[in-house]
Structure formats: structure tokens, C-alpha cells
Chain A
């Protein structure tokens, strides 16, 4: 893929005011900016509980130039679907209802609600900003926390021992029209995918990996670098699944050693050589399986 950012794709529209309450180096607010650039003005947003609830500002201030409705942890999918139903009832079928929620909302507490919305194929664009833990409450593990990571609830003596929940596959298996992984390090891919999702009726699920300065414990200048390394190391594959069956890998990773990714982060510092090897093998195996799915989908 051409890595050069094409001007016509990168809109000058800014739907966020410049000042926000996010931590310096926050990938979530950066991702939100890119997404809103792709969606332009005809959008209403559901704000999931979490970091975004804070960084978008407190009453009577907001950084959002679009209509937005804050929701509970598990409320995003149903509130978004309900809003869409109201717009339909008023004859407005064009406006995108965009739900923006973290991995805790998405993979844990709101998964039943999200599955329900997907099963009903509600016409919403649901984007999970995944910083791999409950970062707004100080960084406790979620089911999106990767194997080996320390969090406030998985200290190094008892680091995360479960593999990350594969939310993109879970969502794709609902046979929704569109599910995709995106990264802030690849904005042109992100914008194209959001635009594509916007043009589709039904449930669209986008999974955005968001390096978190405080939770992952790294200097703030490495946000984009880490986002890119996660892709290059095959830890976070950039791919899409259409209708639950058509798999496409959008960015082919270099296959960088995962040590390059791990060593920049405090949360993996404790891992031994053997443990890193174990993780590398897991990443390779997952990548191999994804490749098989791509092959399978081409054979259909």
C-alpha cells in the first residue's frame, strides 16, 4: 500500500476543538480526530464511558463540534441503535451514528449489548479504541489486555496470563457487513476504512489499537512508533472482514522482532527471554491462522 498520505483523503475538517483533556501522547484522541475527519459533519456520536468521557470535556465545555451523547459502559450499542431508530423515524437515513468506546466497554461489560446490536445488524458504526486495560480508572486488566502485560490488577508477580480476547473475530463471526482493524500509525488506511464503513448499511465494527502512555508506561513520543511496531511485529494485524467471510490483509507487516515492540514499554519489562519467546511463538501462530482464513476466504 502507498504509505504517502494523499491530500484529498485527508480532510481539512476538524471536528475536535484543539484543546482537550487527554494525556499527552494519547492515541485515542488522535484516532478520534482521524475518524471524524473521515466522517465529516453528518455524524452523531455516542461517547462510551472511559477516557473519552473525560477528555472530551466537562459541562459546559466540549471539544466536540458534532452532536454527542454520553453513555454508560455497556450502553453504547443500544443507545446508538436507539438514536438511529429515532433518526429513521424522522426520515433521516443518512446520518452516521458513531459509537466510540474503549476495550472495557467493548470486550467486557458491553459485549452482550454489542453482540445484540450486531445480531440485529443495527445501522451503527462502532469503533473500539483499545488501550488494552481500564486506563481511565488507573489501568486494571480487561479481557483485551495481552498476555504478559502488567496492569494495576495484574502486577509483575502475577502478570496477565490470558491471551487477548479477539474482539474483531468475535464481531466478524456475527456476519456483520464490515469488521476491521485500524491503527493510528496508518491514518490513510484508517480513513479509507471509516469512509468505507460509512457507506455501508448495518453494523460496522472497527478495532483501533491505542498505545497508552500511562498504562503501557512509555515516553509520550513513542505513541505512533508503538502503534506502527504493533503492526510490523504482527501483534496487531491490519485486516478487514466483509460479511464475516471475506478476509483481506490491508497492510503486510515486515515481521519485526516483537522485542522491538516490547522493550519500549514498562508493562513488559519483567518478561524473561523464554517468556518473550513464548509470546513470539503465539504471535506467529495467530498470524499463521489469520493467513489461513485469508486463504480460506479466497477459496470460497
Chain B
């Protein structure tokens, strides 16, 4: 059934179709409608789940941890301040190996206040033992929520399904809602491998000595590595049942590309259009969309990027003191003696705080990558203006580069 809906509602329907049993949430813009929709679906009896509005995000994740350890399929959603407020519990869930699925709607962190999109909130949680999928469309959000339970419950690690606030959360698109019976055949009832059980009493999460702690950490990393095959299988199976393909790393015209654009999330669609146009003009341009950020698809990225001359990474996020986070991660898998070439990597920061990343801006990014060698700085500020002036190491759409 096709329906017009926002990204937030797509996320909520994804949870409903996954037949989640316990939902705990606390409202925060721009996540709010995910929780509201689920409250409505539960109240109307369309979803048989315990829905609770807790007093904080901290308790939302705590509630999910308790419920998941009790053997229930659990769901929550948050953004920005909420996400970092629950951070202790996010680590806890990862360390506890609980298959919780959380939707994260990207929003810039305070201070100062903003509600605009910025992926730094979810990326700052990258070391918590959660898988991270960055979505491009409302359809992808819904599909990814369902796939995430399939994945999480096999590898016993929690999953974040992530998309940018307002660009997807509040934008209406056509979404194909699969039949719930079909989803049931893909995602059967949750039968936990481990849970709190009176018949088989065990203590969960007690103190671990150094050797055990070390081993548990190793096992999380091992599960992350092993999850790659499970993820591929889950996505493939989804494609076979529902007919929708979802690349964990999308290779768009990269085979013979001289310049490859690396993007994530909502700007992927715009980037594809830019590549199409430039290809028509005879420019050898390609694009990589990174959907799966944890586990990081090292081999795939290495393979796709190694023959290019230049790489342009656009980051709607920043790790202060270093640069764009996707850019760092991409660089980390290149030039390690395992690649043939060593493409020059250009790091662009754009769209922070919800600034629009337009078609023209992306075109400019590619132009700059082609023409400027080496880049003026480690970070090129795309679209940043300062007192009306373009940044020294940046440019703005519609203007010529500064020299």
C-alpha cells in the first residue's frame, strides 16, 4: 500500500510492522512525531505494545534495556540533546549486547540552540557498540527499521536508524507500506537467545575483571566484523521479498570515475542528480553513498575508491580539532598499503545546523575538487559565510572561488 508520509511516520510504521512489544520515548524536536504516531497506533489497537512516555531520554533507554533483557522487542527514538542525555545508557545497551532499535533524527547540539540538521549527535555515539545506518529517503527509513531488528536479533548488537531532521523527518514522500504478514515472514516473532528467566537464573552485567572485560570488548568488535555478512544477507532477503534494494555502500558510476563524491543521508539524492548532469557533460564523476557507518565498510570503500584520482567527502558534521567525521573514516581506510592508488581526499563541511546543501553547492564541490590542487586546507567550508563574506578556505554557491 502506497501512502504519503513524513520520515518520522515512516519510522513509526517501521516499528509497528516489526511488531515491537515495548516502546519508551521522550519528546524532542525533530523526533516527536515518531513517538506520537506510535502512541496513536498503540491507543487505536493497531499495535499491541506497551507504550510509555518516560520522564527523560535517560529513562527511555533504561526502559528499553530492562525490557530487552526481559526478552521483549523494544524501540525508542531521539535526537540531539536527548541522545546525549541518554549516552550512558547507549553505551550500556551496546555493552549488554541488546538488540534494541533506536531511530535518531539528526539535530545540531547545543549550545547555541538549533533544531537544524547536523549528524554530529549520532556520530558522537559511534564508539558505543551500536550499528549505524544513515538513511536517504522515507522509504529507506521504514525498510531499515524492519531490517534492523532482523540484524540486531542475530548479532546481538543494538542498531541506530539515522536520518536528518526536517529534510527527512518532516518531509512528505511516497512510502510503500508492506503487508504486515509479509513482514512477519521476513521478521518472525522475537525469540531471545538470552533473557531474564526464573527457570534459569543468571546475573547480567556484573563486574568483569580486566581479562574478562577485555574479552567482552573483543567480542563486540568481532560481532561487528561478523555482522557484515549477516547485514548483507538480511538486506538481500528483504530485496527478494519486498523488491527494494538497499546498498550499504552505494557505488554510483565509480568504475571509471576520476572524482568520486562521498556522501550520506538526505543529500545522496541531490548528489546523484549532479553526477548525472556532469556525466552527460562528459565528466568522469562518481558517487558513493555510505549508508552503513558502523560497522564501517572498509573493504567496500577501499575497493570503490582506490582507482579514483580525487575523493570529495561532504560532511554535515564536524569533529572539532580534526574535521568531517565521514572524511576521517574514509581517509583511515585509504593509503594503507592495501590499495593500488592513493587518491587525494578533499574534506568539505557543509549544511551544518540545517543549512541547505543544494544541487548548485554540490556541483561547486565537484568543480573545486577538479580544479584546486592541492586543496587550500584540510577543511573546505562549503556554503559558509562570515559577516556576509565567503570563508577564506571555502566558497558559496553562485560565486566564483576565492583566490
Chain A residues within CB distance 8 Å of chain B: 41-42, 44, 46-47, 53-54, 56-60, 62, 64-72, 74-75, 77-90, 95, 112-113, 115-117, 119-120
Chain A contact residues: helix, strand, loop or mixed: mixed
CA distance A46 to B196 in the complex (A): 11
**Nearest B residue (CB) for A75:** B62
Given contacts A85-B67, A116-B54, 4 further A-B contacts (CB under 8 A): A44-B196, A60-B212, A82-B67, A84-B70
A65 to B201 Cα, complex, angstroms: 6
Verify if B330 is at the interface (C-beta below 8 Å from A).
no
Chain A residues, CB < 8 A from B110:
none
Known: A72-B88, A78-B59, A82-B67. A56 touches B206 (CB 8 A): yes
**Distance (Å) between the CB of B35 and the closest chain A CB?**
15
Which residues on the B side are within 8 Å of A59 (C-beta)? 203, 206-209, 212
A70 and B203 contacting across the interface, CB-CB below 8 Å: yes
Q: Does B204 contact A (CB under 8 A)?
A: yes
Q: Does B66 contact A79, Cβ atoms closer than 8 Å?
A: yes
Inside 8 A of B207's CB, which chain A residues have their CB? 53-54, 57-59
Partner of B22, one of A74, A89, A116: A89
Establish whether residues A120 and B52, one from each chain, have CB atoms under 8 Å apart when the complex forms: yes
Q: Given contacts A67-B202, A82-B64, are A90 and B88 in contact (CB under 8 A)?
A: no
Q: Is the CB of B64 within 8 A of A112?
A: no
Docked CA distance A203–B202 (Å): 25
B70, A78: Cβ atoms closer than 8 Å: no
Residue from A71, A79, A95 having most chain B Cβ neighbours under 10 A: A79
Q: Which residues of B contact A85 (CB under 8 A)?
A: 22, 50, 52, 63, 66-67, 70, 72
Shortest distance between the CB of A79 and any CB in chain B (Å): 4
Contact B89 A72 (CB under 8 A): yes
Q: How far is the CA of A58 from the CA of B208 in the complex (A)?
A: 6
Closest beta carbon of chain B to A46's beta carbon, Å: 7
Q: Which residues of B contact A79 (CB under 8 A)?
A: 62-63, 65-66, 69
Q: Check B196 against A83 for contact (C-beta < 8 Å).
A: yes
Which residues of chain B are within 8 angstroms of A60 by Cβ–Cβ distance?
A: 212
Inter-chain CA distance A39–B133, complex, in Å, is 44
A88 to B207, CA, bound (A): 29
B56 (CB) vs chain A CBs: closest residue: A112
* Cross-chain contact of B66 among A58, A62, A82, A90 (Cβ < 8 A): A82
In the complex, B403 has a CB within 8 A of chain A: no
Complex contacts, B92 vs chain A, CB 8 Å: 72, 75
9 interchain pairs, CB-CB under 8 A: A41-B198, A47-B206, A68-B204, A72-B62, A75-B92, A77-B59, A77-B62, A89-B50, A113-B58
* B residues less than 8 Å from A90 (CB atoms): 70-72
A78 touches B50 (CB 8 A): no
Is there contact, CB below 8 Å, between B196 and A69? yes
Main secondary structure of the interface of B (DSSP, over half): mixed
Measured CB to CB, the closest approach of chain B to A22, in angstroms, equals: 14
In the complex formed, the residue of A with least CB distance to B192 is A86
Contact partners of B317 in chain A: CB under 8 A: none
B65, A75: Cβ atoms under 8 Å?
A: yes
B55 close to A115 (CB less than 8 A): yes
The answer, among B55, B68, B206, B209, for a CB contact under 8 Å with A86, is: B68
* Closest chain A residue, CB of each to CB of B53: A120
Residues of B within 8 A of A64 (CB): 201, 203
Most buried by B among A60, A72, A85, A117: A85
Interface status of B153 (Cβ within 8 A of chain A): no
From the candidates A56, A89, A117, name the one contacting B72 in the complex (CB within 8 A): A89
Instruction: Give A97 Cβ to nearest chain B Cβ, in Å.
Output: 8
**Assembly CA distance A250 to B22 (angstroms):** 39
Q: How far is the CA of A42 from the CA of B70 in the complex (A)?
A: 14
* Cβ–Cβ contact A86 & B70, under 8 A: yes
The residue on B at minimum CB distance from A76 is B62
Q: Is B38 an interface residue (CB 8 A)?
A: no
* Docked-complex contact B70 and A82, CB < 8 angstroms: yes
A residues within 8 A CB of B195?
86
Q: How far is the CA of A67 from the CA of B92 in the complex (A)?
A: 18
Assembled-state Cα–Cα distance A120/B24 (Å): 12
Contact of A42 among B58, B198, B202 (CB under 8 A): B198
Chain A CB within 8 A of B118 CB: no
| Docked-complex contact B204 and A86, CB < 8 angstroms | no
Are A113 and B56 in contact, CB atoms less than 8 angstroms apart? yes
Q: Which residues of B contact A119 (CB under 8 A)?
A: 55
Contacts of B198 in A (CB 8 A): 41-42, 44, 66-67, 95
Chain B: which residue is nearest A83 at the CB level? Answer: B66
Contact across chains for B58 and A83 when beta carbons are under 8 A apart: no
Q: How far is the CA of A79 from the CA of B68 in the complex (A)?
A: 10
Bound form: Cα–Cα A14–B72 in Å:
30
B231 to chain A, nearest CB (A): 26
Interface membership of B205, Cβ < 8 A? yes
Most chain A beta-carbon neighbours within 10 Å: one of B67, B197, B208: B67
- B21 contacts chain A at the CB level, 8 A cutoff: yes
Q: Which residue of B lies closest to A45 (CB)?
A: B203
Q: Select B63's contact among A47, A81, A95, beta carbons within 8 Å.
A: A81
**Residues in B whose Cβ lies below 8 Å from that of A68:** 201-204, 206
